[in-house]
Amino acid sequence: MLNEDQLSKLRRAGEVAAAARDLGISLCKPGAKLYDIAQEVEGYIRDHGCGLAFPCNISINEIAAHYTPSPTDQSRLEIGDVVKIDCGGFLDGFIGDTAATVEVGTNAYRDLVEASKRARNTVAEFVGEGTPIREIGRAIEMSIKRDGYKVVENLCGHQILQWDLHAGYSIPPYDAGDETPIKLGDTFAVEPFATNGRGFIDNGKPGNIVIFNREKPVDDPKTQDFLAYIKDEFHGLPFCARSCDFPNAEKYVKVLVRKGVLGSYAQLVEAPGSIVTQHEYTFYAIGKRAEVTTLP
């Protein structure tokens, strides 16, 4: 169990992340530049006293996750795009991870957007201490299937620990037979992805998101300085060059990826022409009914 100070930090990180998520959703208008949306979302998190648990993901249509704009990205939203905003903040390592989906200027996929939201909300009605992981997955799959869509089988919810976004157990969006119960004091994210595609994602192109991978010798003093900066700023959590307040960050990220010091996340992509939606809450198992920490 977290003590009162720790729980206060977890709640504050969740509150800030949720407000940033809603801000990002509100900015998804025709012609909006992805770079500007990401900067606004991350700026909100930092301006409200939290660090970035990971870069703001802005994943469109068949891209399910792990896309964030680079500093030179000129991409803009178009009418009909289905956009997932996934963001997170931390306070002293306690993380709020949250996501929502919006359709830009049309309602062609309204039911699909609602399917992932309804599945998340269904879980929120019963999850808590003692809930077996298989029951969470079963509820997600049943809800999304009832709405006429598929879950993305290989994208899971996850336990969260201090300074560790994807820790411990995973929560598949279907009944995988895992009887492991949610324990009192657990922090975990439930993030159903619904799709009209095949229900499975593959790795696509690099999505500009990186994470510290391993220690290796770095000779260049400036690159050493950058490495020290990212360790202090991001504490081993995922980040991107755009989020760095360091001159020529993109250059140093590329150098460290080539050296294997940083690992790169691929975009996660469904079948071409399909649509993926996502809704996510972070929960804290305060009792038989878990608390949603990512409410604004």
What was the pLDDT predicted at 110? 98
* 65 strand-pairing partners: 268
- Considering the domain architecture, whether residues 145 and 52 belong to the same structural domain is answered as yes
- Considering the domain architecture, whether residues 111 and 229 belong to the same structural domain is answered as no
- Residues labelled catalytic: 86, 97, 158, 166, 191, 280
What was the pLDDT predicted at 148? 98
SS3 270: coil
What was the pLDDT predicted at 91? 98
Q: Among 188, 187, 152, which Cα is nearest to 172's?
A: 152
- Considering the domain architecture, whether residues 175 and 250 belong to the same structural domain is answered as no
- Considering the domain architecture, whether residues 134 and 261 belong to the same structural domain is answered as no
The pLDDT tens digits of the residues spanning 179-198 come to 999 999 999 999 999 999 99
DSSP code string of 2-20: --HHHHHHHHHHHHHHHHH
What was the pLDDT predicted at 80? 98
What was the pLDDT predicted at 57? 98
What was the pLDDT predicted at 5? 98
- Considering the domain architecture, whether residues 256 and 179 belong to the same structural domain is answered as no
- Considering the domain architecture, whether residues 88 and 211 belong to the same structural domain is answered as no
- Considering the domain architecture, whether residues 151 and 261 belong to the same structural domain is answered as no
What was the pLDDT predicted at 172? 98
What was the pLDDT predicted at 69? 97
- Residue 239's domain comprises 205-265
Q: What is the CA radius of gyration of the chain?
A: 18
The pLDDT tens digits of the residues spanning 51-63 come to 999 999 999 999 9
- Considering the domain architecture, whether residues 99 and 31 belong to the same structural domain is answered as yes
Structure tokens at 10: 């977890």
- Considering the domain architecture, whether residues 72 and 109 belong to the same structural domain is answered as yes
What was the pLDDT predicted at 92? 98
- Considering the domain architecture, whether residues 279 and 166 belong to the same structural domain is answered as yes
Give the CATH number for residue 229: 1.10.10.10
Q: How many domains does the chain have?
A: 2
What was the pLDDT predicted at 252? 98
**pLDDT under 70 in the chain at which residues?**
none
